[in-house]
Amino acid sequence: MDEGGAPNDSRLKLGPGGAGVDLIGTLPDSLLLQVLDRLGCDAAATRTSILSRRWRYLWARRLKVTFALPDVPYEGPDLISALPDDLLLQILGRLGSVRAAAPAICVSRRWRDLWTRLPKVTVALHDVPFGSLEAALGRAAAHPGACHYLLDIRVPGQVDRVYAGSLNSLLHAAAALSPLELRFTLPRDLTVSAANVSLPCFQRATHIELHARDLRLSPKHIGGLCFHSLESLSLSGCHINLETFIPRLGRLRRLCLSIINLVGMDNITIHSSSLEELVVDHKNRWTCLTSISVEAPVLKQLAMSFHAGSDVAVSILAPMMEKVSWRCLYTSFIYGLGLWGISEVGLKTAERHEQTDSQEEDASLQLPSVLVLSLHMCAQDLLSFPNAELGLVAEIDKHMVTDFSRLDLHLRTKGTLRSYY
């Protein structure tokens, strides 16, 4: 959540901060009592009342109560320091963020650097000025022992243009944190200079999301180890050579591409031996796809929506595919039959249900899924289609249509739409 958001925000924000939440107060009583019991005496336990209102009277619920004389100062060992690391890390981990965990250094010397060993550290940089982002990342990287679980950078819309060199430096600073997950968002109205932006190595990252507008990326390649842990990749408005980049991602399971206002991104080539889910949303009708090539032997789900202006070459090799959602929108009438020009071809997987005679309270038997072919056609009298029937059949076959169980036909005539199923 952004700065100034709801008070339940517990993520680390290295920009100007607001008041935190009493996260210690959310810990269960059983865990707090376990901490107090291991302190050894109530003289030390009562001092914990400064941590949180929840600790104020908790010491009175201990089963064994021992007090030192009030006029004799406690000079025993640092009992908090005797607690095992796993218990201290469990307490800090439940606080939810470094911002809440770091003040625990006042409890004992043992807590001083313990927060850097938290298994999950979230760094959220929202609405931090672009010129201050790299310094903020440097402060986060000052504790190399921390495991940065999620790095979430959202550049505010305060500038309208940045140079590729500045963005290169920022991404390399982000890579220095070695996050397990990366989410990087540039504003839609931000223009990056024409030079390619170098995408550095994120060796530990299993999930990466990059959102921009017309961002040209050039991934680094050092011994095949740059993205060897990556399992999920989401790109929106990013230019990247998919044909050479995707085969290097040996563990990639899910790929999501949103092609928005990308001039020159007119072909998609994705070859992957590990990919199981592919989502492509081509929203730019001014740059139509001319070629689609997918080779994914273990692909199970495919969702693709794109614009085609002329003849588009389609090659899909996915023998294990179980679910498909396919939508091709034509920017002009290229194929048709008689007076009807085809404007859209769709193919999707639908579940089929059949009522049984022995059903109980509207129960049903789910049968294997079926393929549904949908055709959208518009009436026009200015064009003629030579070899219309053969051309239309060949065009439909190109969209993976080898067999289908149902046809949805949508006919439009001068503002009137008629649908037949």
pLDDT tens-digit map of 125-138: 888 888 899 988 88
pLDDT tens-digit map of 211-238: 988 888 888 765 556 788 899 999 998 8
> Residues 214, 262: contact at Cβ < 8 Å?
yes
Between 64 and 419, the higher pLDDT residue: 419
Between 48 and 248, the higher pLDDT residue: 248
Give residue for tokens 């060897």: 228
Nearest Cα residue to 347 out of 319, 369, 328, 367: 328
Instruction: Starting at the earlier edge strand, list the strands of the sheet with 291-295.
Output: 267-271, 291-295, 313-317
Which residues contact residue 386 at a Cβ distance below 8 angstroms, ignoring those fewer than 6 apart? none
The Cα-based distances of 248 to 189, 219, 295 in angstroms read 32, 11, 14
Q: Count the helices and strands in the chain (H runs, E runs).
A: 8, 20
pLDDT of residue 78: 66
Query: How is residue 43 written in tokens?
Result: 């003289």
For the chain, give every domain's residue range. 24-117, 333-357+364-421
The Cα-based distances of 19 to 4, 5, 12 in angstroms read 9, 10, 12
| Range 137-141 average pLDDT | 81
Give dist(CA 360, CA 418) in Å, integer. Answer: 37
Query: How is residue 114 written in tokens?
Result: 């313990």
Pairing label, strands 181-185, 254-259: unpaired
pLDDT of residue 48: 64
pLDDT of residue 291: 87
| Range 14-38 average pLDDT | 61
State the pLDDT confidence band at 331, using cuts at 50, 70 and 90.
confident
277: Cα separation from own chain's centroid: 14
The Cα-based distances of 34 to 28, 31, 49, 52, 420 in angstroms read 10, 5, 15, 16, 69
Which residues contact residue 385 at a Cβ distance below 8 angstroms, ignoring those fewer than 6 apart? 335, 336, 337, 341, 391, 392
pLDDT of residue 252: 96
pLDDT of residue 5: 40
pLDDT tens-digit map of 256-305: 999 876 666 778 899 999 999 999 998 766 667 788 999 999 999 999 99
Amino acid type, 305: S
The Cα-based distances of 173 to 10, 123, 150, 201, 313 in angstroms read 23, 13, 14, 11, 41
State the pLDDT confidence band at 13, using cuts at 50, 70 and 90.
very low
Which residues contact residue 6 at a Cβ distance below 8 angstroms, ignoring those fewer than 6 apart? none
> Residues 315, 332: contact at Cβ < 8 Å?
no
Q: Give the DSSP letter of residue 6.
A: -
pLDDT tens-digit map of 168-217: 999 999 998 888 899 999 888 777 776 688 899 888 899 999 998 888 88
> Residues 276, 254: contact at Cβ < 8 Å?
yes
The Cα-based distances of 90 to 50, 83, 235 in angstroms read 20, 12, 35
Give dist(CA 151, CA 121) in Å, integer. Answer: 9
pLDDT of residue 164: 84
pLDDT of residue 271: 96
Whether 154 has a pLDDT exceeding 70, the answer reads yes
